[in-house]
Amino acid sequence: MLEADYVIVGSGSAGAALAYRLSEDGRHSVIVIEYGGTDIGPLIQMPSALSFPMNMSLYDWGYASEPEPHLGGRVLATPRGKVLGGSSSINGMVYVRGHARDFDHWAETGATGWSFADVLPYFKRMENSHGGETGWRGTDGPLHVRRGERKNPLYAAFIEAGSQAGFELTQDYNGAKQEGFGAMEQTIHRGRRWSTANAYLRPALKRKNVSLVNGFARKVIIENQGATGVEVELRGAIQQIKAKREVVLCASSINSPKLLMLSGIGPAAHLAEHGIDIIADRPGVGANLQDHLELYIQQKSLKPVTLYSVLNPVSKALIGARWLLFKSGLGATNHFEAAAFVRSRAGVDYPDIQYHFLPAAIRYDGKAAVPAHGFQAHVGPMRSASRGTVTLRSADPRAKPVIRFNYMAHDQDWVDFRHCIRLTREIFSQPAFDEFRGDEIAPGSHVKSDAELDDFIREHVESAYHPCGTCRMGRADDPMSVVDPDCRVIGVAGLRVADSSIFPRITNGNLNGPSIMTGEKAADHILARAPLSPSNQEPWINPRWRDSDR
């Protein structure tokens, strides 16, 4: 009989951190259930190979949205990691904490104890920051965070162009001041992807009280309104893994609500449709689905300084060989080395637009490289009001869930994206780009009117792969809350959720950082430890925010 004090489903960003912290003092046994296999090998560990694992069924669950009604029926890929380290092993390795006001909003909407003052100490505990702002960053945590070398002159041109357009600069967007143009941070250490498998799980598995079970979680076993274990498929047989204390779902914003519903926790009418016995009627399970969308604004480069020069087989082989031998060179970066967070208009008090800059004109998934020297900015709004759902396709645990993002459902979404395109054109038109700037590749300089921009958006907008919110944290008396501020599933004892699905609202930027923080903080709630003392540090807010966007 497999049993442990704590059974964690999912070895990803939150799950690995949780396993590390729950087992740290040696007093409790932990079993981590992970369906995916090993993360060893250059396709995952080599940072510049990031487009491969995300598109491989070996490492990705292979989920996709239903046809999106506001995007002309397009189906968008929804990759989630199915491998040791979860999505931290297939993501773009960009590290963003989120803005202070994001977490204050969580607390204001019912996630008491999750304000910025409350979560900042956990970000510090988890970080080993190389080059971050003194006093704002952790320096001895498991998660190594660094900046790229920014050797390509286009990175400096992007940051300088932002300044020339009148925007702020920031020395550390994960420090006091998120707003502005500056260096982008990466979860890369000594030339390797620093996933939570490397940072947390491997050290935890060296302890006698932690074990890994390679199985497919089918549902949570619930007796007398309390979770007692997890039903798993192991080597073709269905078994139970018993939790002496608690079960914690860290299975992603797609799989955690799916598992809750398969276990009888969710919207009663929906569960009844699929013949599932209702344990707890929680209409919020699978609701509140959010994501970030982005566009690639691409420009030809007059100078042959872009990554186009190395997109040939010989150069790729040399880059790969150098990485294998020395863990250095172009293979040791994700190439996202310059960034910006800016505000869209006067009256917005903190950034609501994110930029990733890349010295190449190529899609994130590695497909459709423009056959010419070029550069691009990935740009998108941070706080869309559009909400979607994750629901069951059937009561078969192997069936893929039904994912409906409902992207671009609000008029403001279109206003915001048009502004993003026009703003990027303004930045690319600054003197800093004069020596590099060729013709606009996408959307193309002929695309100008609102209607033309909307057509481009509808056809080309892509997910930034930041789904969250489907097991929302909030007050226990709020019918749409799924977990309380201690991450406990409301109405079921001995069961918690701790991953990006509990986010009440999506945070600024990439979600790997806040997901790891969630695992870190949830561990203290589960162990009934006093939380880390709240911070009294005040984030920078632009003094001109009422009057100007910059």
CA–CA separation, 338 and 342 (whole Å): 14
The number of residues in the chain equals 550
Binding site annotation covers 10?
Answer: yes
Active site residue 466: yes
Binding site annotation covers 236?
Answer: no
Binding site annotation covers 24?
Answer: yes
CA–CA separation, 225 and 345 (whole Å): 49
Structural contact between residues 405 and 65, judged by C-beta atoms closer than 8 angstroms: yes
Binding site annotation covers 172?
Answer: no
Binding site annotation covers 33?
Answer: yes
Closest CA to 353 of 365, 364, 361, 345: 345
3-class secondary structure per residue, 209-241:
CEEEECCEEEEEEEECCEEEEEEEEECCEEEEE
Binding site annotation covers 83?
Answer: yes
Binding site annotation covers 75?
Answer: no
Binding site annotation covers 218?
Answer: no
Q: How far is CA 8 from the centre of its chain?
A: 20
Cα angle at 61 between 460 and 307, to 5 degrees? Answer: 50
Binding site annotation covers 20?
Answer: yes
How far is the first Cα of the chain from the last one, in angstroms, to the nearest whole number?
A: 61
> Hey, what are 324's tokens?
């294998």
Binding site annotation covers 255?
Answer: no
DSSP H or E stretch at residue 104:
helix 100-108
| Helices 512-526 and 13-22, packing angle to 10 deg | 30
Cα angle at 128 between 526 and 27, to 5 degrees? Answer: 30
Structural contact between residues 282 and 491, judged by C-beta atoms closer than 8 angstroms: yes
Q: Which of the following is catalytic: 105, 292, 356, 466?
A: 466
Binding site annotation covers 17?
Answer: yes
| Greatest Cα-to-Cα distance within the chain, rounded to the nearest angstrom | 70
Binding site annotation covers 21?
Answer: yes
Binding site annotation covers 31?
Answer: yes
Binding site annotation covers 220?
Answer: no
Binding site annotation covers 55?
Answer: no
Binding site annotation covers 500?
Answer: no
Binding site annotation covers 271?
Answer: no
Structural contact between residues 501 and 469, judged by C-beta atoms closer than 8 angstroms: yes
Q: Which residues are part of a known binding site? A: 5-34, 83, 91-94
Catalytic residues: 466
Q: Which residues are part of a known binding site for FAD? A: 5-34, 83, 91-94
